[in-house]
Structure 1
Amino acid sequence: MISKLLQSAALAAAMVVAAPAVQAQELKIGYVNSERVLREANLAKAAQVKLEAEFGKREKDLRDLEAKLRGAADKLEKDAPTLAEAERNRRQRDIVEQDRDLQRKKREWQEDLNQRKNEELSAVVEKANRVIKQIFDNEKYDLILQDAIHFSARVDITKKVIDALNAQK
């Protein structure tokens, strides 16, 4: 019984002696705001410009088609009182069919845009993660977090990550 008590006392004494050594060894923590990286890094901006160039014409064509359809609907509404019922029904069917076609084209455009956006952003995220890993290794961080709810400006390394990304060719 006494030997167990002595062992416990020795263990407690060892912990008391070791505690200051653990406290002296501070953790080095960093924080990266991913949203800001994807908004401000030149790579992300270039990806956005590329997407706008790739999908801008289709978007303009869809807007033009929508305006044309709106004009046809307005014309039908204005002409409806003077049109024969068969002609009015034919124009209504045409407008409904054109609207259905427009909605399908919009959905396809949005799906294509989302897919390409995901491809472009994943390339940026992959490069950003490599930069973060380099900073982690080179500056001897113990922990780097992304997208924390609360953080101190003291641990925010987002600008460092953006600068490193921008420096890459």
Structure 2
Amino acid sequence: MMSKLLKSAAMAAMLCASATGLQAQDLKIGYVNSERVMREANLAKVAQAKLETEFSKREKELKDLETRLRGAAEKLEKDSPTLSENERGRRQRDLVEADRDLQRKRREFQEDLAQRKNEELGMLVDRANRVIKQIFDAEKYDLILQDAVHASARVDITKKVIDALNAQK
């Protein structure tokens, strides 16, 4: 949907330019590969490292809990023939409850991680958009597109955007 909108905007700009007597070569058009910006900008790398640091302890705790649960399940399976019916039932209930707890914690972890990623990504997108606007104004572009289907290297200003983002403190 967004891609079609951007294509329509580009077509409208070109039609307006030809209608006013301008030739296409007089238009100054730029293209930014947002995915590349999000992957290569130092701010993106810092955000990723920050998230890894922030969530690594919880992730390790989940893995440890899963290992303990797996060990308890193996022990129950091994001990099962020698256990009384009541003891076997109690241990099975404990395992089911522990598994539910693990699944809940894993869901909460994924939700928290996704929320933080969205927050970090939102901040990066805002900064990138400000940089793109600054380039647009300073270099007097008529149109800057993000994430076009095809764009020649001649109009690709992605590196310029990444460099400007990296220059910010």
Same fold (TM over 0.5): yes
Counterpart position of 1:42: 42
Q: Percent identity, aligned pairs only? A: 79
Counterpart position of 1:32: 32
In 2, distance between residues paired with 1:20 and 1:78?
Answer: 83
Superposed structure 1 runs of 4+ greater than 6 Å apart: none
Measure how far apart 1:19 and its partner are. 8.0
Measure how far apart 1:65 and its partner are. 0.2
1:24 and 1:46, CA in 2 relative to 1: closer, same or farther beyond 3 A? closer
TM-score, length of structure 1 as denominator length: 0.85
Which consecutive residues of structure 1, in runs of 5 or more, have no partner in the other structure? 1-17
Which consecutive residues of structure 2, in runs of 5 or more, have no partner in the other structure? 1-17
Counterpart position of 1:125: 125
Q: Which secondary structure does the structure 2 equivalent of 1:134 belong to?
A: helix
1:111 and 1:19, CA in 2 relative to 1: closer, same or farther beyond 3 A? closer
Measure how far apart 1:26 and its partner are. 1.8
Measure how far apart 1:25 and its partner are. 5.6
In 1, distance between residues paired with 2:118 and 2:20?
Answer: 48
Counterpart position of 2:82: 82
1:19 and 1:105, CA in 2 relative to 1: closer, same or farther beyond 3 A? closer
Q: Once superposed, what is the RMSD of the aligned Cα atoms? A: 1.7
Counterpart position of 1:14: none
Pairing 1:71-110 to 2, within 5 Å after superposition: 71-110=71-110
Q: Name the aligned partner's letter for residue 51 of structure 2.
A: L
Q: Which has the larger radius of gyration?
A: 1
Which has the larger displacement, 19-28 or 127-136? 19-28
* Residues 4-54 of structure 1: CA deviation (Å, up to 9, x unaligned): xxxxxxxxxxxxxx9895227621111111111111100111111111111
1:25 and 1:35, CA in 2 relative to 1: closer, same or farther beyond 3 A? closer
Which has the larger displacement, 117-126 or 76-85? 76-85
In 1, distance between residues paired with 2:150 and 2:24?
Answer: 25
In 2, distance between residues paired with 1:150 and 1:78?
Answer: 60
Counterpart position of 2:149: 149
Q: Name the aligned partner's letter for residue 95 of structure 2.
A: I
In 1, distance between residues paired with 2:52 and 2:23?
Answer: 52
In 2, distance between residues paired with 1:120 and 1:24?
Answer: 38
1:24 and 1:70, CA in 2 relative to 1: closer, same or farther beyond 3 A? closer
Counterpart position of 2:139: 139
Counterpart position of 1:15: none
